[in-house]
Amino acid sequence: RVGSATSLSSATVNTRLQELVKLFKERTDKVKEKLTDPDVTSDDESPTTSPAKPAPAAAPVPPPRGEPEGEKPSGDEHYCEMLCCTFKYRPWLDRLKNYRFPSSIDPLTNLMYVLWLFFVVMAWNWNCWLIPVRWAFPYQTPANIHCWLVVDYLCDLIYLLDILVFQTRLQFVRGGDIITDKKAMKENYMRSQRFKMDVVCLLPLDFFYFKVGVNPLLRFPRCLKYMAFFEFNNRLEAILSKAYIYRVIRTTAYLLYSLHVNSCLYYWASAYEGLGSTTWVYDGEGNSYIRCYYWAVKTLITIGGLPDPKTLFEIVFQLLNYFTGVFAFSVMIGQMRDVVGAATAGQTYYRSCMDSTIKYMNFYKIPKTVQNRVKTWYEYTWHSQGMLDESELLVQLPDKMRLDIAIDVNYNIVSKVALFQGCDRQMIFDMLKRLRSVVYLPNDYVCKKGEIGREMYIIQAGQVQVLGGPEGKTVLVTLKAGSVFGEISLLAAGGGNRRTANVVAHGFANLFILDKKDLNEILVHYPESQKLLRKKAKKMLQNNNKPKDEKGPPGDPLIIPPKADTPRLFQAALAAAGRMGGKGPLAQLRWRLKELKAMQA
């Protein structure tokens, strides 16, 4: 028992002595580094996030009346219509009650304005499609006239609200400034061409109903609100991710509307000549609109197989139909070709680049293995990014917008790099704009052992493997998305440090690359960050160059690990205590050290 207690106390003393020795060594190294390196100022150069201190306890807030003290109001309230739950207003009702209409509207970014334009365009389409039908076909009768009038005046109300509420609140740019003043916005709208067209659209020609009856042609001015339709197209295409789909639908609608108008004109011509009077006119059988629409399709597309016109009126009408059909159909085909061409412009550019590259490789008789890798790179880059070079899209943008996009895409990754923590935030922003995106194929060498490192790599997607060992094929570590390697080479002196291992892409890998030249151009404007990065790089190089402790063979483990050397200052203090023969703590510590040495011997 005495021996076990002595060994336990000796182990405790040994552990404490080791900690003291470690602290003395760290302090000596810091003082030595401070004396030899003039750039070192303090240990606070790279601030770290300190743990949040607990906030002082606040005075308890009494619960509202009618609520028990033990319950706390939660963020996600429970809504239920059962009798077991307390009735609460739904959040959308509260938002609707507290909503205030904006005093000014940004027509370029406000989604509420785009939604309102949708209703205006729906009212405009009602007039454009239904006025010809009600005029030509006998679908408007005294029995259903009230239904037509209700929808007509509902569309007129939408037109009126658009003039009084929305158009007078639209912001505009004057002299480079965005004008949001109510009076200025109203005056700008009243001076515009759109205000004149909107007033013409709402001419009260309906008063003539009392004289000539409900004639749909009196509502023809309602079709002049076409500016809202084109504005809605521009706003909708700006917010859609695949705007070419809407363009195809809109072009198809143009063709259908032209056929719709032609069918209405054919029924009117048949009624003018007399239904069934000749073989050319509509005979009055079946669904009148479907039969006339079928005739319009055959005429405008010039399919043929139509009955020959008999009278002069029929001949002139048919000639005008043929000429209009050829012109309209050719315009629609050309517009559809432009829409599809614009939608596939990127794909066409990709195919042309790939074809040119293949032609070049065939001319110089490049080996098939290399050609296949080049083709694989083209295909993977196009399918993963949708483009061959991301920088081509950002060239036309101003510098500020390029920075905003770079921050959203790359800042979360770069901010986690230990080398750049504590640096100037603006320096990080400038560095983001210099990153280049590169795609590596499976088994491609990112960097090789022995070459001079001049780049830092950030893994955006994929994985890379660090190879080592005698033959350079042993996988030391696998780095995944978000990892960084090669950062020391950016600040290494003497032309750069050499790579100590091979780095190979494991599968397809998308990496961001930062060149040493670009970083040096940025650090010229940030001397404090340059000093901090130089010190961090120096520490990282010292840690990498430290020789590792040699381990014995696995069959001969060390029972007692080697003890670290006692600092000289501490040895001198112990020797002085022994010479003085005192009974202080140093003397007791000296006696215990002697006992420990005897036990180890």
DSSP 461-489: EEEEEEEETTTT-EEEEEE-TT-EE--GG
What's the rounded Cα separation, in Å, for the pair 483 and 508? Answer: 15
Q: Please determine, for residue 414, whether its predicted confidence score (pLDDT) is greater than 80.
A: no
- 308 and 338 within one domain: yes
Q: Please determine, for residue 56, whether its predicted confidence score (pLDDT) is greater than 50.
A: no
- 207 and 141 within one domain: yes
pLDDT, average across residues 504-528: 88
Length of the chain: 601
Whether this model's pTM surpasses 0.75: no
Of 530 and 166, the one with more pLDDT: 166
Of 480 and 156, the one with more pLDDT: 156
pLDDT digits (tens, 9 = 90+) for 254-277: 999 999 999 999 999 999 989 888
37 in a structural domain:
no
pLDDT digits (tens, 9 = 90+) for 353-395: 889 999 999 998 899 989 998 898 888 888 877 777 766 666 7
Tell me the pLDDT band of 7, cut-offs 50, 70 and 90: low
- 425 and 321 within one domain: no
- 529 and 408 within one domain: yes
Q: Please determine, for residue 69, whether its predicted confidence score (pLDDT) is greater than 90.
A: no
Helix and strand numbers, DSSP H then E, in the chain? 20, 8
- 127 and 181 within one domain: yes
- 368 and 416 within one domain: no
Task: Determine which of 476-490, 491-505, 569-583 has the lowest per-residue pLDDT on average.
Answer: 569-583
State how many domains the chain has: 3
- 164 and 130 within one domain: yes
- 510 and 379 within one domain: no
Tell me the pLDDT band of 436, cut-offs 50, 70 and 90: confident
pLDDT, average across residues 297-322: 85
Judge contact between 442 and 434, C-beta under 8 A: no
Q: Which residues pair with 459 in a beta bridge?
A: 511
Count of CB atoms within 10 A of residue 186's CB? 15
- For residue 64, the SS3 value is coil
pLDDT, average across residues 224-251: 91
- Expressed as residue numbers, the domain containing 449 is 401-545
312 in a structural domain:
yes
Q: Please determine, for residue 555, whether its predicted confidence score (pLDDT) is greater than 50.
A: no
41 in a structural domain:
no
26 in a structural domain:
no
563 in a structural domain:
no
Residue that terminates a domain, selected from 337, 360, 388: 388
Q: Please determine, for residue 449, whether its predicted confidence score (pLDDT) is greater than 70.
A: yes
pLDDT, average across residues 214-227: 93
195 in a structural domain:
yes
- 381 and 406 within one domain: no
- 329 and 276 within one domain: yes
- 415 and 318 within one domain: no
62 in a structural domain:
no
Q: Please determine, for residue 531, whether its predicted confidence score (pLDDT) is greater than 70.
A: yes
Residue that terminates a domain, selected from 357, 388, 419: 388
- 434 and 374 within one domain: no
Burial class of 366 by CB neighbour count within 10 A (0 to 12, 13 to 18, 19+): middle
Judge contact between 582 and 3, C-beta under 8 A: no
Q: How many CA atoms lie within 13 A of 592 on its CB side?
A: 18
487 in a structural domain:
yes
pLDDT value of residue 230: 94
Residue that terminates a domain, selected from 501, 524, 545: 545
Q: Please determine, for residue 578, whether its predicted confidence score (pLDDT) is greater than 80.
A: no
Share of the chain above pLDDT 70, in %: 77
